[in-house]
Structure 1
Amino acid sequence: MTVTRAAKRTAARLGAVVLTGALLAACGSSTDGASGDGAGGEVTITVDLFGSFGYKEAGLYAEYEKLHPGVTIKQTDTEDEADYWKSLQTRLAGGGGLADVQGIEVGRIASVAKEQAERFEDLRKYGADALEEQFAPAKWAAATGGGGEVLGLGTDVGPEALCYRADLFKQAGLPTDREELAKKWATWDGYLELGKQYKAKAPGKHAWIDSVGSLYSIMIGQEKERYYDASGKLIWQDNPALRTAWDHSVEAARSGLSAKLDQWSPQWNQAFAAGSFATIPCPAWMLGYIKGQAGDAGKGKWDVAALPGGAGNWGGSYLAVPKAARHKKEAYELIKWLTAPEQQTRLFEKQGNFPSATGAIEKVAGAKDAYFSGAPIGKIFGDAAKAAPVQVLGVHDQNIAQQITNALSEVERKGTSPEEAWSNAKKGVENTLG
């Protein structure tokens, strides 16, 4: 998943329950020696995530508990990754209220590796350095601290495609074949043009896309350099690729193609079942989210096609163990198991989270998804993962992205001029970065 998340992975996720730091206080901190909760060596491992990584839904927690008698896993999660990250920072600063396992969205991992390494366990202590060859080099390197510390294990990545409602396309007189559509929207200009055709004939009040923020996020996910360059210099204001993503998003807003929905909001969740939009930029982890929100009634109505403009990545996450965790060794054993190729393969097959473990990527190549009209998701997302650029990750990627999508929302919702909205984005970034 994740999340890009922004993921984000961010990360888009299923069945979330918002949980404040106060409610987590029982997780508390203790010494490295703490390994059990009571008599008989029984251990409760606490896991705190944003949205749903799919572990519970795929039955992985239940299987782990069966394989490890005496172990109980308790998960809490927060739907909005920005809220989750803010709460996590508060708890890290105070040293209390932390779970044994904390999820980290890919847009935050640079902050952990470059600024907060002292607050997380170096997993080499438990043998994690032996796992390096199991992961794609870029995925592994992003969670490596300046002193070589291994600060997290990779869960998924977010290769991008486009999910669409074939039934709504048919009602509007548009093609429904995924290969034909991929040719028609080979470019983002082609995608917007098809959207205008859809709008002219769309049934009811069905929009072309959920929000211009999701359009921006998927487009910027196709770029190697977005907010920082490889040297760590901020480049977002002068990055032509970012301005192209901005301009296309503005065009979608001004053309009335958007349903104007805040991603992860209750209204957005309800819109999947209501069929309020015909297309949504779709990193692999979005598949499980769509299934959860659209339900059984959506089976066979959705399909997946290759993304306009080439491959990209949006989201993906890590599992980390805070220094203040109560059960560090047990937490490591759990995340080692959850991120192993076998479990990543099963998670993709059940939830759509595309694996970051190289062995799992090969295993899912032939996967198809009946819910999405039999789409060959293993090939679609596998091809995208192979072609996606290795992105430069900056310390404040998520913060900058949030300010830009906030500004695009002003254009979309309030009719704010693009010039004023861009100025507001600049001020927001300046205030955020200090």
Structure 2
Amino acid sequence: MPIARAAKRATVRLGAVALAGALLAACGGSSDGASGADGKVTLTVDLFGSFGYKEAGLYAEYEKLNPGVTIKQTDTEDEADYWKSLQTRLAGGGGLADVQGVEVGRIASVVQQQADKFEDLRKYGADKLEGEFAEAKWAAATGANGEVLGLGTDVGPEAMCYRTDLFAEAGLPTDRAELAEKWSTWEGYLQLGKQYKKKAPGKSAWLDSVGSLYSVMIGQEKERYYDTSGKLIWETNPALKEAWNTSVEAARSGLSAELDQWSPQWNQAFAAGSFATLPCPAWMLGYIKGQAGEAGKGKWDVAALPGGAGNWGGSYLAVPRAAENKEEAYKLIAWLTAPEQQAKLFQKHGSFPSATGAIEKIADAKDPYFSNAPIGQIFGDAAKAAPVQVLGVHDQNVSQQITNALSEVERKGLAPDKAWRNAKKGVANITG
């Protein structure tokens, strides 16, 4: 579908959603009877990590367009904790929000195992939006019978974020083009890290953790944990073993700050300057800004990723069948995922759009916080070249077991072969 046509349709959709919301408020109720008698409705949104909707002002904008609607969001920083809690509530049927976030590594589980727990959004008109999203993004949330179980938010094209001030102090180049050439391979990235280590400012390390290194490397592969037939192949996948070996080398070379991602210590390390590089999908930009604060502005930059393009992360917004305000919830997620809103979110938060009509809008975007890096071009090029990944039911769980094992090598000095065996046991327990 041509981008121009998609954008035009999205514009019509935006107006329709706003008008429909206003009419609902004026009429004092919704078709599923969940609104209050006074015509007001509170929509609950439960997310993980940092989606950025509130920070980018999108909730406030939607509430202004839809008098009578109030949005209340709850957050869980760690996605694994969020998913565990969501599973408990889905099993019990209570305590669910009107809108639930779903990480891309979980969407196959929703589609293949939990379709009966979520609304088929076609009943609200979602089937008309298919051409507005990247084909792979749409397909991943579509069931065997065509059910639409979520609308795509962002995708996670990958780059490398780095601290120019720390690089300069260590005598390394700071120009993003020069660095992209020097670390065009992961071997080159590690070699540059070993140079950094010799003159590292203070107690800073080359990267935050080998878990993040592994995650961004495996994000460069089409097949990671499953093949196209749905068979679990992680143990024999040579690309995965290469990502493992590279991460082990980084750990044994002392290049890591040994920080658990999303932990309080990791969050504090952004402001403290505890690491010089961070493998970063687009959505990480907003997180860096939030943790490093105003003092970090101009100290960070973004360059192309070693080893080629990849994708790490991206999410969906879904409506549970047990939600109280299903129709209004759909209207909200349709608006939040429309091209106009996805473009705004990228400009303010760094979340790269999955809506095709938004990608053209952000092509020339630059970010003053990241030394005026051409983030639209860098992440746009990565998104175009990134592989369409094969997703499996336990993608996120398998990944967690592997990063846990790498953490044992990194923090405890565990022998890599023993850590690998621990990962195998963990995966076997999860997948049966």
Q: Same fold (TM over 0.5)?
A: yes
Is contact 1:32–1:328 with CA below 8 Å preserved after alignment? no
Kindly indicate whether residue 131 of structure 2 is the aligned counterpart of residue 139 of structure 1.
no
**CA offsets, 1:185-235, max 9 Å, x none?**
000000000000000111111000000000000000000000000000000
Q: 1:304 aligns to what SS in structure 2?
A: strand
Cα distance, 1:359 vs structure 2: 0.6
| Match 2:84 to one of 69, 83, 86 | 86
Alpha-carbon deviations, 1:160-186, whole Å to 9, x = none?
000000000000000000000000000
The within-5 A match list for 1:235-250 is: 235-250=233-248
8 Å CA contact retained: 1:119, 1:322: yes
Partner of residue 252, structure 1: 250
In the other structure, the counterpart of 1:387 is 385
Q: What do you get for the CA RMSD once the two structures are aligned?
A: 0.8
> 1:146 Cα shift?
1.1
Q: Residues of 1 paired with 2:32 and 2:126: CA distance?
A: 19
Which stretch of structure 1 is more off in the superposition, 213-222 or 38-47?
38-47
Residue correspondence of structure 1 range 33-72 to structure 2 within 5 A: 33-36=32-35, 38-72=36-70
Distance 1:66 1:51 in 2: 25
- 2:194 matched residue in structure 1: 196
Contact 1:272 1:290 in 2 (8 A): yes
Q: Deviations over 1:367-418 (max 9, x none)?
A: 0000000000000000000000000000000000000000000000000000
1:43 counterpart letter in structure 2: V
Match in the other structure for 1:6 = none
Match of 2:299 in 1: 301
Q: Which runs of 5+ in 2 are unaligned?
A: 1-29
Question: What amino acid is aligned across from residue 194 of structure 1 in structure 2?
Answer: L
SS at 1:39 equivalent = coil
Quick one: distance in 1 between partners of 2:246 and 2:32? 54
Alpha-carbon deviations, 1:21-47, whole Å to 9, x = none?
xxxxxxxxxx972330x2321000000
Alpha-carbon separation, structure 2, partners of 1:41 and 1:136: 36
Q: 2:329 aligns with which of 327, 331, 335?
A: 331
CA contact (8 A) 1:283 1:313 kept: yes
What is residue 350 of structure 1 aligned with on the other side?
348
What is the identity, as a one-letter code, of the residue corresponding to 2:274? S
Distance 2:407 2:49 in 1: 22
Measure the CA separation in 1 of the matches of 2:311 and 2:49: 19
Q: Distance in 2 between matches of 1:308 and 1:133?
A: 32
Alignment partners' CA distance in 2, 1:309 and 1:363: 27
Contact 1:156-1:354 at 8 Å conserved across structures? yes
In 1, distance between residues paired with 2:416 and 2:250?
A: 12
Residues 150 and 317 in structure 2, CA contact (< 8 A), matched pair in contact too:
yes
Post-superposition, which runs of at least 4 consecutive aligned residues in structure 1 deviate over 3 A?
none
1:416 lines up with 2:404 in the alignment? no
Corresponding residue of 1:98 = 96
Residue 273 of structure 2 is matched in structure 1 by 275
Alignment partner, residue 314 of structure 1 = 312
The C-alpha deviation readout for 1:235-278, integer Å capped at 9, x for no partner, is 00000000000000000000000000000000000000000000
- 1:114-167: CA deviation from partner (whole Å, max 9, x where unpaired): 111011000000000000000000000000011110000000000000000000
1:433, distance to aligned residue in structure 2 (A): 1.6
What code does the residue aligned with 1:70 have?
G
* 1:261 corresponding residue in structure 2: 259
2:114 corresponds, among 105, 113, 116, to: 116
The question of whether the paired residues in 1 share the 8 Å contact of 2:50 and 2:286 is answered with: no
Once the two structures are superposed, residues 81-116 of structure 1 have per-residue CA deviations (whole angstroms, 9 ceiling, x without a partner) of 000000000100111100000000000000001111
Check whether the contact 1:158–1:284 (CA below 8 A) recurs between aligned residues: yes
Match of 1:365 among 358, 363, 366: 363
* Residues matched between the structures, number: 403
Query: AA paired with 2:178?
Result: E
The equivalent of 2:27 in structure 1 is none
CA distance in 2 between counterparts of 1:417 and 1:178 reads 36
Task: Write the letter of the residue equivalent to 2:33.
Answer: A
Task: Verify the 8 A CA contact 2:151 2:333 in the aligned structure 1.
Answer: yes
Letter in 1 for 2:209: S
* Residue matched to 2:375: 377
Aligned to 1:129: 127
Quote how far apart the aligned CAs of 1:431 are: 1.0
